[in-house]
């Protein structure tokens, strides 16, 4: 069972127990405002240096969306180039057996880097390493993903660049009574028109949305019933603040869309309790309700989901989409269990059930789903996730 949903359930349970206790509210308020310095400093000093330098681009890249906040990126920085590497050991193992989602995260970092390059007055030439994704390597390696050559150019800032420090994954429920901004869907499609090998599908019909909810909820339950998937995911849960300070990565209780009170209670509860509190029925119901509350459900699809280049491009598109949503005061989050099950079934040699189900919803078998997401007006503000500083991600 997925650990981030355990956290939601224990948080909600704790909130019911502690209602009316002002001490809990005071404690929670203090905890949720402690986002300065240490593992959160990357969000405030990302553009502190006014002089255009390649390292400014890296600081922007560090704030990109990252699957399970694994931050698998490493950078080699020169005066006129930046090389982006994937650190294969920073993976969720069985949950991402082909490192497809890791490559999507690298694409998110690349997009932030490109936006920062324009803002800092650099012209760029991107050289992507081509190839097909294969099963997880057994040994820790650094894989070159792309090299960005830098030259003098004109400064160009846009709203996506300005939204970089405010973009956070919002896992709180959304407000289904509020309509999306006028023409937002059309604007989203246009902003994300990056390459002919990536396409965005948006679903507004209730029948399609219910299909996706059903497919995703079932996939979520089946996926995390596999102990290998469960253990790979759990490695990146930072249950306690001391672990956040130590590792500066991973998924934290503060980032799960709980109320301040529920967050504080969950942080004090024994970890063993957090891991066993949820029942199967609670889990299924909670997951489906979150999806149903979204104002928009979308899928990013590619022509070849195991293409390194197309996975990278899908990441760039998702980062653009999330930044645009942020600029429009919308919340956004991945909801990827259904597409993760596509990898899982392939890796185990099973029939491609989820691939077929998702293709039927899309209505075009030539496009292969690689990323599913939710957007809407959030009921709570998202909190920043911990990030490693630039000096911990550089290659000498």
Kindly report the CATH number assigned to the domain that includes residue 282.
Answer: 3.40.109.10
| Residues 172 and 312 occupy one common structural domain | yes
| Residues 174 and 139 occupy one common structural domain | no
Which of 110, 132, 161 is a domain's end point?
161
Residue 283 in domain: yes
Q: How far is CA 243 from CA 59, 252, 391, in A?
A: 23, 9, 19
User: What does the pLDDT read at residue 343?
Assistant: 97
| Residues 129 and 179 occupy one common structural domain | no
- From 4, 5, 47, 6, select the one nearest 273 (Cα to Cα): 6
Q: Can you tell me the distance from the alpha carbon of 59 to that of 315, in angstroms, rounded to the nearest whole number?
A: 18
User: Structural domain of residue 197, as residue ranges?
Assistant: 3-19+164-376
Domains in the chain: how many in total?
2
Q: How far is CA 266 from CA 172, 191, 394, in A?
A: 15, 39, 35
User: What does the pLDDT read at residue 268?
Assistant: 77
| Residues 257 and 284 occupy one common structural domain | yes
Per-residue pLDDT of the chain (396 residues; tens, 9 = 90+): 454 455 445 444 444 333 333 333 333 334 444 566 789 999 999 998 888 899 999 999 999 999 999 999 999 999 999 999 999 999 999 999 999 999 999 999 999 999 999 999 999 999 999 999 998 765 678 999 999 999 999 999 999 999 999 999 999 899 999 999 989 999 999 999 999 999 999 997 889 999 999 999 999 989 999 999 989 999 999 988 899 999 999 999 888 877 777 777 777 777 777 666 544 455 556 778 889 999 999 999 999 999 999 999 999 999 999 999 999 999 999 999 999 999 999 999 999 999 999 999 999 989 999 999 999 999 999 999 999 999 999 998
Q: Quote the pTM value.
A: 0.90
Residue 36 in domain: no
Q: How many CA atoms lie within 13 A of 77 on its CB side?
A: 17
Residue 61 in domain: yes
Give the helix/strand (H/E) hosting 378: none
Question: What is the β-pairing status of strands 237-238 and 296-302?
Answer: unpaired
Angle, in degrees to the nearest 10, between helices 3-18 and 227-234 = 60
Residue 242 in domain: yes
- From 211, 183, 353, select the one nearest 291 (Cα to Cα): 211
Name the CA dihedral angle for 177, 182, 187, 189, rounded to a multiple of 10 degrees: 50
| Residues 150 and 170 occupy one common structural domain | no
| Residues 133 and 258 occupy one common structural domain | no
Residues near 116 by beta carbon (within 8 Å), at least 6 away in sequence: 47, 56, 57, 59, 60, 61, 161, 164
| Residues 12 and 45 occupy one common structural domain | no
| Residues 115 and 204 occupy one common structural domain | no
């Amino acid at each position: 069972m997925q650990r981030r949903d355990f956290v939601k359930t224990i948080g909600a349970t704790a909130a019911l127990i502690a209602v009316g206790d002002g001490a809990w509210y005071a404690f929670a308020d203090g905890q949720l405002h402690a986002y300065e310095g240490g593992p959160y400093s990357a969000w405030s000093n990302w553009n502190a240096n006014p002089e255009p330098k390649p390292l400014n681009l890296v600081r922007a890249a560090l704030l990109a969306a990252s699957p399970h906040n694994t931050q698998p990126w490493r950078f080699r920085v020169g005066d006129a180039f930046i090389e982006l590497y994937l650190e294969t050991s920073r993976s969720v193992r069985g949950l991402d057996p082909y490192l497809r989602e890791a490559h999507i995260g690298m694409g998110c970092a690349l997009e932030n880097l490109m936006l920062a390059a324009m803002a800092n007055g650099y012209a760029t030439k991107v050289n992507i390493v081509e190839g097909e994704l294969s099963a997880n390597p057994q040994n820790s390696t650094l894989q070159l993903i792309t090299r960005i050559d830098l030259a003098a150019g004109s400064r160009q800032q846009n709203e996506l660049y300005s939204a970089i420090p405010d973009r956070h994954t919002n896992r709180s429920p959304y407000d289904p009574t509020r309509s999306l901004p006028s023409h937002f869907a059309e604007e989203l499609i246009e902003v994300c028109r990056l390459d002919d090998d990536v396409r965005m599908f948006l679903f507004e019909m209730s029948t399609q949305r219910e299909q996706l909810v059903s497919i995703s909820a079932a996939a979520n339950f089946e996926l995390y019933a596999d102990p290998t998937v469960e253990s790979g995911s759990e490695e990146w849960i930072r249950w306690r603040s001391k672990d956040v300070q130590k590792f500066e990565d991973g998924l934290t209780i503060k980032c799960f869309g709980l109320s301040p009170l529920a967050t504080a209670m969950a942080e004090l509860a024994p970890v063993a309790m957090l891991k066993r509190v949820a029942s199967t029925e609670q889990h299924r119901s909670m997951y489906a309700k979150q999806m149903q509350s979204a104002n928009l459900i979308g899928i990013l699809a590619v022509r070849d989901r195991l293409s390194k280049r197309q996975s990278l491009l899908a990441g760039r598109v998702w980062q653009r989409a999330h930044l645009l949503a942020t600029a429009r005061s919308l919340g956004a989050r991945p909801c990827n269990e259904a597409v993760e099950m596509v990898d899982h079934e392939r890796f185990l040699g099973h029939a491609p059930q989820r691939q077929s189900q998702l293709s039927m919803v899309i209505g075009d078998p030539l496009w292969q789903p690689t990323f599913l997401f939710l957007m809407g007006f959030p009921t709570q503000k998202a909190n920043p996730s911990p990030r490693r500083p630039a000096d911990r991600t550089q290659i000498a």
